[in-house]
Each structure stands twice: as C-alpha cells, then as structure tokens.
Amino acid sequence: MPFLPESIWRRRLASEKAELDASGESFSANSDLTQYDFTIRGAGLFLNSDGSVGKVGSHRVRVSLKREFPYAGGMDVVWLTPIFHPNIRSEDGKVCIHLLNAWAEGQTVASLVAGLRQLLANPNPQDPLNKEAAKFFIEHPDALSASALPPSQNKLTRPKIVFSS
C-alpha cells in the first residue's frame, strides 16, 4: 500500500480535523488526529435481547485513520452503538459502505461521515453484512419512518417498538 511522506500525512490529518471543526459535526479526536468518535443523529434500529426491534436516534461511530490514509484501505469504520442494520455487522460494528470500497485520496473524513448518515437513513438490504437485518428491512421497508413499527407478533418479523435515549 502507498504511504504519504510523514510530514505531508501529518498536514493531511490536520487538514481533516480543521474541515471537521468547520463542519459543525459532533466529534472528538485523539491527540495525534488518527481516531475520531462521531455522534450521528438519525433514526436507526437495534435488536433487544428478547428478539424485539427498537428504535434509537443517536449513534456513535469511530473512524480510525491508518498510516495508509488517505489511500484506499487507509481507514477503519466501526459503529459503536448497538444497531440492527443490513450494512452494519451487529457483532463488531463493521460497516459496509461503498465510499470505503471506492475511496479516493481526494475524499475527506467529513464526506465519509455524510455517507454514513446516508447509509443510516437508506439501508441497502440487497448488499448485506447482516442478513437477518436485510430480511427484516425487505419485509418492513418503512421501518425507519416516523410511524410506528408493526405490532409485535413474531419478535423478528413483527417487532414491538422500544424507544431508547
């Protein structure tokens, strides 16, 4: 994998942070600017221990920039908040997003966060990491709408609504 020279890489990291500061995103960064924790607001679902599906409106996501950044493969994205989403693996929070697979060095962390917000609002059950969530979203395409989820009968296919703050 390619690497930027150290001094240019450090300037790029500082530039990423400056862009995020100006964006108004809610985030924290470590001292060497290689790890960011973001708070993303938006409707999402999570799976309760009893198998029911609940709604959540605030999500924590970690973006780690590796030495290969800004080239493809130079970052890791992990969803920290429990989530039931076809494109996010529940076990470890791994995110499947086209932006990561098609990453170009001209893209920014701010554009990645915008893409994550889009992914949250527009799940893609046709390209899942979480097949159980994909099946649910195919059966309930409006599950993220403001209206209530269907009443609970079968805990997975007809979940009850549980709100979490």
Residues of the domain holding 81: 6-164
Q: Is the pLDDT of residue 142 over 60?
A: yes
What is the per-residue pLDDT for 162? 52
Asked if residue 1 belongs to a domain, the reply is no
Asked if residue 152 belongs to a domain, the reply is yes
Number of domains into which the chain is organized? 1
Comparing 49-63, 75-89, 148-162, which segment has the lowest mean pLDDT?
148-162
H or E stretch at 90: none
Can you read off the two tokens belonging to residue 120?
């949250």
Per-chain mean pLDDT for the chain: 88
The span from the CA of 27 to the CA of 93, in Å, is: 18
What is the per-residue pLDDT for 163? 52
CATH number at residue 73: 3.10.110.10
Which residue numbers are catalytic?
96
Average pLDDT, integer, range 141-159: 58
